[in-house]
Amino acid sequence: MRSHIATLAASAALGLALTGAAVADPVEDSLTVITEDGELEIVTRTAAPDHLKDVLPTIYSGWHYREDETRALQRDDFDNPGMVFADRGHDNWNAEIGTGGESCASCHGGPESMKGLRAVTPRVDAKTGKLMIIEDYVNACVTERMGLEAWGVTGDKMKDMLALISLQSRGETVNVAIDGPAAPFWEKGKEMYYTRYGQLEMSCANCHEDNTGQMIRADHLSQGQISGMPVYRLKDAGVVSAQQRFVGCVRDTRAETFKAGSDEFKALELYVASRGNGLSVEGLGVRH
């Protein structure tokens, strides 16, 4: 009995120490990527945009919350397992798959014509007034200009293309518009971010704002930024898009999720992207 008490007291003291250490802050580190065209500096940490600075003064890419080995995979394109998927996207970019023999390349030229897009999407399309994610632009071409069936929003073909297109904006500063025609979508996304969904009654903010830096079991909670999206996820051995990640996070609250590509999740993507205004597009992050 006495030894039991002693052990408990000792471990209670240890517990404090452990808890202190385990409140793992984002790792101090910086990211320069070795690419085919030389070194490229990526902003993974910066001052929060005005709309966020009262709740989170500094914003961090999810890269800062991953282990040394995982972070290292993103430092060199040669090691980044996601590049294979972007390459696959490139093959499909050049393939004459349209019903009239069209390819992406036949209209757009090289994929570098997509430079900048990832940094400003989701955005409201000037012509239709609709909120568009990159997947919507791709599917508009696939269906209207190539005469094909729409690609699945989270299907492999779509994610490969998303990887290729995002890579063209790598290093550019995320800067999605939140005012003007975007404002109502942004408000809707913000409301969703703070809504406690599901039987566990958890909001995005509960995990990625209130408890960012904490461990939820073995998972180190990041700020849930999407500047790295799509990311190569070691656990899935595949590419994960923001839309797909949202499905997973909402499902984990024991909620009925929204569909990937739904109006709701597009609004949420705009809002979440805006929380990362100021970070660099990573093109293809690597997470575990």
Partner 1 sequence: MTRKIALAAVASLAATWALAAEVAPTEVMFEGGAVAASLTGVPGDPEAGAKVMTTASLGNCVACHLIEAMPAVQFPGTIAPALDGAADRWTEAELRGLLVNAKMTFDATFMPAFYKTEGFIRPGDGYTGKAPESDLPPILSAQQIENIVAYLLTLRD
Considering only the stretches 91-99, 120-128, 161-169, 211-219, report the one whose residues sit in contact with partner 1 under the rule CB under 8 A.
211-219
Query: With helix as H, strand as E and coil as C, how does 19-81 read?
Result: HHHHCCCCCCCCEEEEECCEEEEECCEEECCCCCCCCCCEEECHHHHCCHHHHHCCCECCCCC
Binding residues for heme c: 104, 107-108, 141, 204, 207-208, 249
For residue 123, give the 3-state DSSP assignment.
strand
Binding-site member from 1, 3, 12, 37 for partner 1 (CB under 8 A): 12
CB of 249 to partner 1, least distance (A): 11
**How many residues belong to the site for partner 1 (CB under 8 A)?**
36
What is the spatial distance between Cα 154 and Cα 240, in angstroms, rounded to a whole number?
A: 8
CB of 93 to partner 1, least distance (A): 32
Binding-site member from 100, 144, 199, 237 for partner 1 (CB under 8 A): 199
Q: Should residue 198 be labelled a site residue for partner 1 when binding is judged by CB under 8 A?
A: yes
Active-site annotation holder among 249, 252, 255, 262: 249
- For residue 154, the Cα-to-chain-centroid distance in whole angstroms is 13
Query: Which 248-277 residues touch partner 1, going by CB under 8 A?
Result: 250-257
What is the spatial distance between Cα 111 and Cα 41, in angstroms, rounded to a whole number?
A: 21
CB of 65 to ligand HEC, least distance (A): 6
Which CB, 228 or 283, lies closer to ligand HEC? 228
What is the spatial distance between Cα 26 and Cα 23, in angstroms, rounded to a whole number?
A: 10
- For residue 125, the Cα-to-chain-centroid distance in whole angstroms is 21
Considering only the stretches 5-13, 28-36, 113-121, 145-153, report the one whose residues sit in contact with partner 1 under the rule CB under 8 A.
5-13
Which CB, 109 or 248, lies closer to partner 1? 248
Q: What is the dihedral of CA 184, 243, 75, 24, to 10 degrees?
A: 80
What is the spatial distance between Cα 69 and Cα 147, in angstroms, rounded to a whole number?
A: 44
Q: Should residue 236 be labelled a site residue for partner 1 when binding is judged by CB under 8 A?
A: no
Which CB, 53 or 251, lies closer to partner 1? 251
For residue 223, give the 3-state DSSP assignment.
coil
Q: Should residue 108 be labelled a site residue for partner 1 when binding is judged by CB under 8 A?
A: no
What is the spatial distance between Cα 191 and Cα 211, in angstroms, rounded to a whole number?
A: 19
Query: Which 15-44 residues touch partner 1, going by CB under 8 A?
Result: 15, 18-19, 22-23
Q: Residue 23: name its binding partner from ligand HEC, partner 1, none (Cβ under 5 to 8 Å by kind).
A: partner 1
The token pair at 170 is 């790598």
Question: How many Cα neighbours within 13 Å face the side chain of 107?
Answer: 16
Query: Which 55-74 residues touch partner 1, going by CB under 8 A?
Result: none
Q: 249 catalytic, yes or no?
A: yes
Catalytic machinery residues: 249
Q: In the complex, which residues of this chain contact partner 1 (CB under 8 A)?
A: 5, 8-9, 11-12, 14-15, 18-19, 22-23, 195-202, 206, 210-211, 214-218, 247, 250-257
